[in-house]
Structure formats: structure tokens, C-alpha cells
A and B are shown apart, each in its own frame.
Chain A
Amino acid sequence: MRMCLRLAVYLFAVWFAVPAFAQAGSPAGLTIPATVSAINSSTPLSQRVVAYDMDAKYNAKAHSLDASETLTYHNLTGQPQDTFPFHLYLNAFQPTSTWMREGKREGTRGQDFEKWDNKSYGSEDIKSFEVVGQGDLTSQLQYIHPDDDNKDDHTVVQVHLPKPIPPDGYVQFKIKFHDQFPETLERTGWNRDFVLGGQWFPKVGVWWHGAWNCHQFHAYTEFFADFGVYDVKLTVPQYEVVGASGIEVSNVNNLDGTKTVAYHGDDIHDFAWTASPHYMIYNDTFQSSMGPVKLRFMMQPAHWSQAERHARIAKEAMERFDRWYGPYPYKTLTVVDPEPGSQAMGMEYPTFITGGTSWLMPKGLLMPESVVEHEFGHQYWYGMVATNEFEDAWMDEGINQYTEAKVMDSIFGPPTSVLNVWGITAGELDEDRLLYLGVADLDPMAQDGWKYADNNSYGGITYGKTALVLLTLESVIGADTMRQAMHTYFMRYRFTHPTKEDFLKTIEEVSGKDLRWYFNQAVYGTQVLDDAILKISSVPVDWYKENLKEKKGETEYIDNVWIHRRENFIFPVEVEVKFDNGDKVREHWDGQDRWVRYQYRKKAKIESVEVDPDHKIQFDRNNFNNSRTAEANGAPARKLANYWTCIGQFFAQILAWWLV
């Protein structure tokens, strides 16, 4: 009886509760699929917030696309939501957009818009916008511009729902949209008969730290989105070779000369695809610690001979990441060798990356390797550890640049990990230094991506400085501890959106050290480090005696060394003083004062002095003044002058050859 009563009360409650929830805007029966077919895991790996189901038809002649999108959103914000912002990234490629205005002002990554070219036009038009259970809200859509006052920017659109979505409720959006791709810009668009579909669909913002995070598309910011499930059908001409994020589910030829290729992705936060009739496919497999990963290299015909080169670096990078930081859980990795001359090179999307090479690529020029390694690294630092690329670009680009240096150095050797052609060498460290040195004091690492002084500062600080700061951090906490900290950071924050403090605190926790003195200067500050040998001197103790004859090993000297901290970054350093009798002395200077003097009384003169003799500090602005020798050695300058003379002779001969 009691049971019957309980049941009656329960049914009564449900009877009233369901309509009440429905009235609040959350339709019944919605859920985010718990599929695992695209990952080497029996359970989902992320807290899935979104499920995108899209059906897109690509018009290869017009470089346009018509699609329908069904987005199911799980409200895990902990509060009712009646406002949802969406990214419409392709609208950035219009003359009055914020992306374009910033590009005109500061330069974009790869394009200077001296003149507007209609081929650069891109758009993402929402044709209809329906919220299931709440009707067609197309007319309610409003463009917003949360970062600036540019009313002409249409890269973010917002919808206000008549009925809020309750906490833990679901909402489903049904969107029809039309894309016009630009000739490749920002690693999306077409070139000749190639297309890379990146940032091509209306993508909902991220509820982060109590607010919607949905920034406009800026000249050099990237992306931020929630994890979820993607099911995408792409219809393209049958002659196209197609690749995309996730796993291929089906490939069906249609009667109208098109084919529909379906893809499925689990625990990813974006979806990109590519098509070209020219791709040649090279398949390989990598055995990760979570299971096999199918590697698919989509090569340009002229680069076919480099397919193995791409595969080798991909597998070597995957092996090191797996061993050092954690497993790659996805079942696929697609490496796209994009159309030559396009701006589609070197981009990361979940389980899908683009490389960058050309048909003439000497083995010693490691550009294809560094691009593939870098973009694969983003599967970790962006793909799985999904930081906010708008606000913390250094956390994906910079951390990734650091791990690129570690991986490339371990494979090719530090001095030659970028270039080793005919005796001319360069390593990852050199590359990072060059990026950094020109902009050292312009911006801090912890900076919103659109607030950098210019494109060079964005690149130099987010990529170069971050890598140098983390490489230098190894000297403070030890390389092994640093690797352990990176491993902990990855394992703890994979499939989440960590903040900069999450990263920094993890390093402090693993190392057991308070590193605020370092982070405050290096990450949050713009301090620059430049330690220099101010001067050295060796004066005989008996300098005052007439007819003093100095004899090596017998005459006693007072040796002085002055070290000067020329800039404002305070960093403790080692100093090594070498004497002409072979003695070496190591000093430790805390770097607090602007200068320090060391004095010795020895039967030897100073031969050389060097700050940071083990070369642990990587962001010293001027390495040339880190050391001073008592005797000048003109050989390096003579060598360069000899090169310069030969170049001058050659130039003069060519001039005279043709004109006389």
C-alpha cells in the first residue's frame, strides 16, 4: 500500500515536473552520446558538453558550402542559461572585420592586405536558427563584439532564448548555414582545387569561470571550445580525396557524381576537413600505450618521396610524447600536406594536422619535421589540454614550442635540430632566441592574444619566450623534475580547460619549490635578462716596484672581475673564472645587486670569465657579453670577414662580368 502511495506521489510529481522543465526550455530525451569508437578507451575521456551532428555539401567550383548543424548542448554551467554565443569565424575575412582591421594595423600571420582582393572574402551566414522546443529564433540573432567596439565585426553571434535551460539540462540547436571560403587565410579556405575546411561551422562559446568566453576572431588569436562528440557528413565531388578529424565511418557514392563521407570524433573540441583531387595517401600505424593509432598522410604528388620522412617524424614524436607526457588516446592521426603556396601550412585541429614542405627540401633542412612535430604536439597542448588560446596563447603555442625543442633536440641533436646543410647549422634554441630577442621587453607571456604590440611580439613572446623560459626553468628545478611536472600537468588537465595558474602551480607542486620569483618576472612580467662581464683586471701585487718583471707562475696578482646585471630580470647565476695557470673558480651570484666584484690574489692572471658557464639560461638578451677573455682571439671575426670578402669579390666580378 505504502508502495502504491509512493508510486502515485512519484507519478504525480513527474506529471507536473516534466512540463515544468519543458517550459524551462530543456526538451526531454536529449543527451550527449557516450560513444568511444574513435578513441582507444572503453569509456569517454572528457566531460562532454556538446554533440555536433552536421551534414555539409561542398561546392568545389564556388568554394562554398551549405550545411545543416544539430548541436546538442549540455548545460553544466551550474546555473540556468538563456543566452548562447556562437563563433562565426569565417566572417573574419571581410574588409571591416576586427581580424582584418588588426591585420591592417599590425599584420596577420602570413598576409599583408596591401590591397583588398575579393578572393580573400569569406563568410558564414546563418540561414535559419531553430531551438528545439522554442521555435525559430533566426530573427533574434544578434552580432556582438565583446572585445572591441567594432560593430562591423560579425564573428560572434548571440541568441537569447525565450525559456532558459536549467542546470544539467540540455538544449538542441538546429542551424542551417552557408559558408563562403576565402582563398586560404589563417589556415582555412581554398587554393586552386584544394580546400581546407577549418573553423567552418557555427561553434558555441565556452562557459568558463562563471561567464561565456566567446571572443571575436582577432588577427593572431586561435580558438577555444568545449569537448564533445562530432558526427559529420561531407558531400563532395567523387574525384576528391577527403580527410578529416576523427575516424571515417562511411564513404558512399551518390548518383549525382558526388560522394558522402561520414566521420565520427569522440572527446574532441573542433572538426576540420580537407579535400583535393591530388592527394596521395600513405598509411602507417603507431602503437601508443593506449592502443594502435592509424596514421594517414595525405601527400601532394610532388612530395610523395617525403611521405616516409613525414611518417618517421610523426612516429618519433608520438613515441616521445607517449613516454614523456602521456598517451595519445585517439585511433587516428591525419597529417595533411597542403597545397603548395597556400596559407594552410602548419595548423592543428583535433586528430588532424597540416604540415609544410616543398618539393625541394634538403634532408638537412628540417622544416617538414619541425612542422609535423609542432602540430602533433598541439594534440597535447591544445587538443587534449585545451587551454584558452584567445587569452593564454603561450599555454598552447609556447608550451608546445618548448616540447618541440625537447623532441627535436632529442632526435636531431641540439645544435642541428633545425638546420644542418653544408656546415651551416641552427637548432631549436637558436630559432627561439631569434624569435624572442627582437621583442624581449614588449609584452608579457600572460597576455590576451589580441593585445600584443604586434605580430612579431605575439610570435616572439608566445612561441620564443615561453620556450626559453621553460628551458631555463629546467636549470632551476632540474630537467627530470621538469619532465615530471609536464607529465603531471598533462595527466591532470587533459580534456579540461586549465588556466595559467593551474600550469604554474603544478610545476611548483612537483618541484616542491616556490617559483613565484621566477614566474612573476618571466610569465607575468616583461623583465629582460642581460648579465655581462663589465671588466676584468690582473694587477701585480708589487706593481709599485721599479723594474718589476712579470713571470708566469711567479708573479703574484690581484685579479678582479666585475659582473654587471644590465637589465631588470633578477636571476641567480654561476660565474666561472679561469686563470692562466689552469685554475678555475666558480662563484654563485644571487643577481640581486646591479653588479658584483670578485677579487682573487693568485700567482696567475685571469684568462677568461664567463657568466652562466653551463649555458643554462636561454633568454639572456646578449650572449656575447656573457664572457670576456683577457687575450683577444681574432680568428672568429677573421673567418667572417673572409666570408664577407669572398661575397664582395663575387658580387664585384658578376657586376664587371656583365657590364664590361
Chain B
Amino acid sequence: MNENTSLVSAGAAIARRNKRYVIWFYLLNLAFAHFGASAFSDAAHGVLDNSLYADKLLHGFNLGVFIELLARPEFGALPAATHPAMMFAVVFFLASLLFMPGVLLGYASDHRLPRDEFYRACGRNVWRFVRLFLFFTVIAGVIAGILFPALNALVDAADKTSNERLPFFTQVIGTIIILLLLTVVRIWFDLAQTEVVLRDQRAVRKSVAAGFRKTRRNLGRLLGSYTVIAIVALAVLVAGIWLWHAIVPPSSVLGAFVVGQATMLLLLATRFWQRATAVAFYVKDLAEPIVEEVRAIPSFATPIVP
């Protein structure tokens, strides 16, 4: 538990020291989401701006009126409003893929990483990260592809009993277990990504193997740390929604924006916290190499941190 705590706090310290990355990613996240919402926004302005009926959406949130709005022909087809949001979510994912190497390098650095080094790391690792992403997709896809149908079968079986709560709790517990397993895979690839960046490793399969070994040997610590941070993320989300409901008047657009964005920022920060924790683990692990690990990495010659 103490080790976990130290890892989590070490990650927090790194993330706090480099909070500019969270800010930049948050701004990207906000900008892309704003672009993604523009079609929806235009359609809503077109119907609502000059209508007194819109008061039911401003001074409260009448679900019936909202559905009526979505169904109006002049609002446009719903996919036209939702697809841009999904497209820009994918764009944010691609941007994360592109810029994450620079972030990892910055996290491992004991000084503020110059901009050119940041972008150099991004450029150098972009193709490696794509390959890692494909590796991850295959492995996580196989696991999810097996476990989710199995869970569905289990839930169906639970649904045949007369215990009404059983299917629900089977679903919840099963989903938590699958998410924990997928988190293990995520830890594995987070470490592999860290290894690729810090070692400038071209052969990503070696980093995948190294990430796997490190995850296997330190599963409890790493999974514990990631889970603690994930719980914090969940708490942030719940607290954000509660605050939105409790303190923001229905008609306060600015208040809702502030609370909503603070929640999104903190939620994003928790993921960066996890990444920083992985980096902290990786750096610490290298500083105290065990015998097998030294043997397993004979070509360790370049400095870890540029």
C-alpha cells in the first residue's frame, strides 16, 4: 500500500510539475468538442433564438421539449448534429496519439522540456505509437471480444432467475472485472509507450515485451495505482455532475460552462496522472534494475532522459 501510495504521489508530482500538458490537451479537447458541437449549436440557434417556447429549455430542462426540438425538420437530421462530435472525438484521439510521446518525454525529464525536443519526440515516435496502438487494439479487442459476449451470456443466464437484481449486479461486476483486465492491458501498453519514447526504441515489439514483463512483475502495484486514480476520476465526474445540479441555476449558461469545463479538465488530468505514474514507475524501475532485467536489456547504452 505504501509503495502504491508513493507511486501514485510520484505520478501526481510529475503531472503537477508538467501541468501545461494537461492544459494544452484540455484546450485541444475543448476546441475539438466545440467544433464538433457547432452543427448542433447552429441548428439549435435556428429554432430557439426567437421562440418563447425555448424558455422551457432555458429555465429548467424539459425533456419532452428537448425531444420535440430534435424531431423538428428545421433542426435537421440528428446524425448531422451528432456525427461531427464523433469525428472530432476521433481527431482528439489522433492528436493524443501524436503528442503523447512528447508528454512522456517531458514527464521523464527533470527539467522543462524545450519545445523543439517535445516535437522531435512526437515526430520520431509517431509511427511507433501507431504500431503500438494496433498491437493494443488487437490484444484488447480479443479480450473484449471474448469477455463481453461471455458476460452477456452470463447476464442472460442471470436474467432467467427470478432474482431481478442478479442480472444488474452480474452486469456491473462483470463489467468492472473486464475493465480491470483491460486496465492491465492499458498499463502494459502505457509502459511499452514509455519504453519506446525513453529508449528511442524502434523495434516496438521489444517494448511490448518489456512492458508485458514489467506489468507482470509489478501487477499489484501498477493496477492498484491505476485503479486508485480511476476511482478519483469517477469521483471527479460524480462531484462535477452533482455540483452542476446543486449550485448552477438552470438558466446560468456561464455557470454550467464553468462547472462542466472544470470537470472535464480534472477528468483529463486524472488520465495524465496515470501516465505520469507509469513514467515514474518506469524511471524508478530502471534506477533499481534487478539482475534479470539487466540481462534482458543488453543494448541499454543511450541516456534514458535526453
Do A and B interact with each other, yes or no? yes
CB within 8 Å of B: which residues of A?
A: 192-194, 278, 300, 302-303, 339-341, 358-360, 415, 419, 422-427, 429-431, 433-434, 437-438, 608, 610, 622-629, 632-653, 655-660
Contacts of B253 in A (CB 8 A): 635, 638-639, 642
A303 to B253, CA, bound (A): 39
Among B64, B267, B271, residue most surrounded by chain A Cβ atoms (within 10 Å): B64
Contacts of B86 in A (CB 8 A): 651
Q: Are A424 and B133 in contact (CB under 8 A)?
A: no
Q: Of B68, B133, B162, which is within 8 A of A192 by CB?
A: B162
Q: Are B93 and A655 in contact (CB under 8 A)?
A: yes
Contacts of B54 in A (CB 8 A): 624, 633, 636-637
Q: Are A645 and B33 in contact (CB under 8 A)?
A: yes
A623 to B36, CA, bound (A): 28
Known: A633-B54, A656-B93. A641 touches B41 (CB 8 A): yes
- B208 CB to nearest chain A CB (Å): 15
Q: Are A628 and B37 in contact (CB under 8 A)?
A: no
Number of B residues contacting the other chain (C-beta, 8 Å)? 74
Q: Of B52, B92, B162, B186, which is within 8 A of A629 by CB?
A: B52
Contacts of B63 in A (CB 8 A): 419, 424-426, 430
- A567 CB to nearest chain B CB (Å): 14
The yes or no answer to B218 lying at the interface (CB within 8 A) is: no
A339 to B257, CA, bound (A): 44
- A180 CB to nearest chain B CB (Å): 20
A430 to B72, CA, bound (A): 15
Contacts of B37 in A (CB 8 A): 641, 644-645, 648
The yes or no answer to B161 lying at the interface (CB within 8 A) is: yes
Known: A433-B68, A639-B57, A656-B96. A415 touches B62 (CB 8 A): yes
Contacts of A644 in B (CB 8 A): 37, 40-41, 81, 85
Q: Are A423 and B49 in contact (CB under 8 A)?
A: no
Chain B residue at minimal CB-CB distance from A303:
B164
Q: Of B159, B168, B182, which is within 8 A of A360 by CB?
A: B168
Q: Are A655 and B264 in contact (CB under 8 A)?
A: no
Q: Of B36, B51, B65, B186, which is within 8 A of A625 by CB?
A: B51
Contacts of B129 in A (CB 8 A): 660
The yes or no answer to B61 lying at the interface (CB within 8 A) is: yes
Q: Of A278, A637, A651, A655, which is within 8 A of B48 by CB?
A: A637
Contacts of A360 in B (CB 8 A): 168
Q: Are B268 and A653 in contact (CB under 8 A)?
A: yes
Contacts of B263 in A (CB 8 A): 646
Among A278, A437, A633, residue most surrounded by chain B Cβ atoms (within 10 Å): A633
The yes or no answer to B184 lying at the interface (CB within 8 A) is: no
Interface residues of B in 147-180 (CB under 8 A from A): 159-165, 168
Q: Are B245 and A438 in contact (CB under 8 A)?
A: no
Among A422, A426, A637, residue most surrounded by chain B Cβ atoms (within 10 Å): A637
Q: Are B58 and A635 in contact (CB under 8 A)?
A: yes
The yes or no answer to B224 lying at the interface (CB within 8 A) is: no
A302 to B162, CA, bound (A): 10
Q: Are B52 and A431 in contact (CB under 8 A)?
A: no
Q: Of A302, A622, A653, which is within 8 A of B267 by CB?
A: A653
Chain A residue at minimal CB-CB distance from B91:
A652
Q: Are A434 and B67 in contact (CB under 8 A)?
A: yes
Q: Are A641 and B271 in contact (CB under 8 A)?
A: no
Q: Are A636 and B85 in contact (CB under 8 A)?
A: no
Q: Are A637 and B45 in contact (CB under 8 A)?
A: yes
- B139 CB to nearest chain A CB (Å): 12
The yes or no answer to B88 lying at the interface (CB within 8 A) is: yes
19 more contacts with CB within 8 A, not counting A644-B85, A651-B89, A659-B93, are A341-B164, A423-B61, A424-B63, A430-B63, A628-B50, A636-B48, A636-B54, A637-B45, A640-B41, A645-B36, A646-B261, A646-B264, A648-B85, A652-B89, A652-B93, A653-B29, A653-B267, A655-B90, A659-B137
Contacts of A652 in B (CB 8 A): 29, 32-33, 36, 88-89, 92-93
The yes or no answer to B55 lying at the interface (CB within 8 A) is: yes
A639 to B41, CA, bound (A): 9
A626 to B56, CA, bound (A): 14
- A401 CB to nearest chain B CB (Å): 15
A622 to B73, CA, bound (A): 10
CB within 8 Å of A: which residues of B?
A: 29-30, 32-34, 36-37, 40-41, 44-45, 47-55, 57-58, 60-69, 71-72, 81, 85-86, 88-90, 92-93, 96-97, 100, 129, 133, 136-137, 140, 159-165, 168, 182, 186, 241, 245, 250-251, 253, 256-257, 260-261, 263-264, 267-268, 271
Chain A residue at minimal CB-CB distance from B66:
A640
- B184 CB to nearest chain A CB (Å): 13
Q: Are A425 and B61 in contact (CB under 8 A)?
A: yes
Contacts of B57 in A (CB 8 A): 636, 639-640
Contacts of A424 in B (CB 8 A): 61, 63
Q: Are A645 and B69 in contact (CB under 8 A)?
A: no
Contacts of B41 in A (CB 8 A): 637-638, 640-641, 644
- A643 CB to nearest chain B CB (Å): 8
Known: A423-B250, A645-B34, A659-B93. A434 touches B64 (CB 8 A): yes
Q: Are A437 and B93 in contact (CB under 8 A)?
A: no
26 A-B pairs with C-beta separation under 8 A: A192-B160, A302-B165, A360-B168, A427-B64, A433-B64, A624-B47, A624-B68, A624-B72, A628-B51, A636-B49, A637-B54, A639-B253, A642-B257, A642-B260, A645-B34, A648-B32, A648-B85, A648-B89, A652-B36, A652-B89, A652-B93, A653-B29, A653-B271, A659-B93, A659-B136, A660-B100
Q: Are A660 and B268 in contact (CB under 8 A)?
A: no
Q: Are B64 and A622 in contact (CB under 8 A)?
A: no
Contacts of A649 in B (CB 8 A): 29-30, 33, 264
Contacts of A640 in B (CB 8 A): 40-41, 44, 48, 57, 66, 69
Chain A residue at minimal CB-CB distance from B65:
A430
Q: Are A656 and B271 in contact (CB under 8 A)?
A: yes
Contacts of B61 in A (CB 8 A): 423-425
Contacts of A300 in B (CB 8 A): 164
A632 to B45, CA, bound (A): 9
Q: Are A437 and B271 in contact (CB under 8 A)?
A: no
Q: Are B58 and A648 in contact (CB under 8 A)?
A: no
Known: A425-B60, A629-B50. A341 touches B271 (CB 8 A): no
Known: A192-B161, A434-B68. A646 touches B260 (CB 8 A): yes
Chain B residue at minimal CB-CB distance from A430:
B64
Chain A residue at minimal CB-CB distance from B248:
A423
Q: Of A193, A303, A653, which is within 8 A of B264 by CB?
A: A653
- B71 CB to nearest chain A CB (Å): 7
| Nearest 7 interchain pairs by C-beta | A430-B64, A641-B41, A652-B89, A648-B33, A627-B52, A637-B44, A636-B54
- A657 CB to nearest chain B CB (Å): 5
Contacts of A655 in B (CB 8 A): 89-90, 92-93
Among A626, A655, A657, residue most surrounded by chain B Cβ atoms (within 10 Å): A657
Q: Are B62 and A359 in contact (CB under 8 A)?
A: no
- B154 CB to nearest chain A CB (Å): 16
Q: Are A659 and B33 in contact (CB under 8 A)?
A: no
